Amino acid sequence: MAYVPLNAQLPNCYNTQQSVDNELQLLVQATRRVRLYGTDCNVLRYTLDAIQRLKLDLKVIAGLWIDSTDVTYARQRDEFFNVVGTYGWDNIIGVSVGNEVLFDKYQPITQLLAHIKEVKDKVVALGHPEIPVFTSDLEASNRPPLTNSEDKAGVNLHPFFAGVPVSDAASWFWNYLQQSVLPAVSTSAKPIDVWITEVGWPTFPANGNMNASIPSIPNLQTFIDTWLCDANTKGIPYYYFEFFDAPWKIWPGSAVEGFWGLLTIDKKLKVSLPDCLAD
């Protein structure tokens, strides 16, 4: 599950250890793996503290947020290594260095590759070569030279942005994965696995549609019903996007970005979840 704690945005950081405790005790009812996007506002620190103190059955992909300034990257990198220095590596199953850095044109690929290498080199030097270090981006970026320098191909793959009706979304996902994503990744210099680092469906507003892809709670239910158990049966690692709605992403003309959560900001589940929890 992709997870951004509620109210965990700079400069205010209204999230607390207690609020993260409460949210993770909800989240662990639906998943055993959580993907974080950054380390600001003590997000990683609070998450690992809660997992270990409350004995939650959760593993974590730590995220290092990257924007157009290396000051942000350096802050995230330093906090990550400080946190694992305190809490250890037992709950870490991966490190995502940036999210959609290339798609958003935050930094050129040469700079991103340098960041990935720096993090990987230090992870290895600290005795954990088994922990994959990679970035997460759209399918178009998940090919050489990027995939030659990662341990996994982190792919954000949303049928919604393809403009397909929700009734066709699951089949579109699997067809596109097989016909476009996997062949591109297979051209890498070394074999690497694909992890789906984002997949989901928004619920609002209805006029935020992408052609035939329409945001609504009934459509989210349809996507969950037609995609989720199939994905668990196929065994492909994925991180559903996302746990909570994100009102901080709502801007004039882009309200849909704030309504991808399985839960509302008042922690109400929007849909019924099938009983097919993945290992």
155-180 pLDDT tens trace: 999 999 999 999 999 999 999 999 99
pLDDT tens digits, residue range 93-110? Answer: 999 999 999 999 999 999
Sheet holding 238-240, edge to edge: 33-35, 59-64, 92-99, 133-137, 152-156, 193-199, 238-240
For the chain, which ranges sit under pLDDT 50? none
Is 150 marked active-site?
Answer: no
Task: Write the single-letter amino acid at 179.
Answer: Q
Burial class (CB in 10 A: 0-12, 13-18, 19+), 223: buried
Predicted local distance difference test score (pLDDT) of residue 100: 98
Q: Where do the structural domains in the chain lie, given as residue ranges?
A: 1-130
Catalytic residue among 23, 79, 100, 242: 100
- Cα–Cα dist 12/118, whole Å: 30
Predicted local distance difference test score (pLDDT) of residue 106: 98
Predicted local distance difference test score (pLDDT) of residue 277: 64
Residue 159 has a CB neighbour count (10 Å cut-off) of 24
In a 3-state reduction of DSSP, which class is residue 104?
coil
Catalytic residue among 23, 79, 139, 198: 198
The pTM score is 0.95
Is 100 marked active-site?
Answer: yes
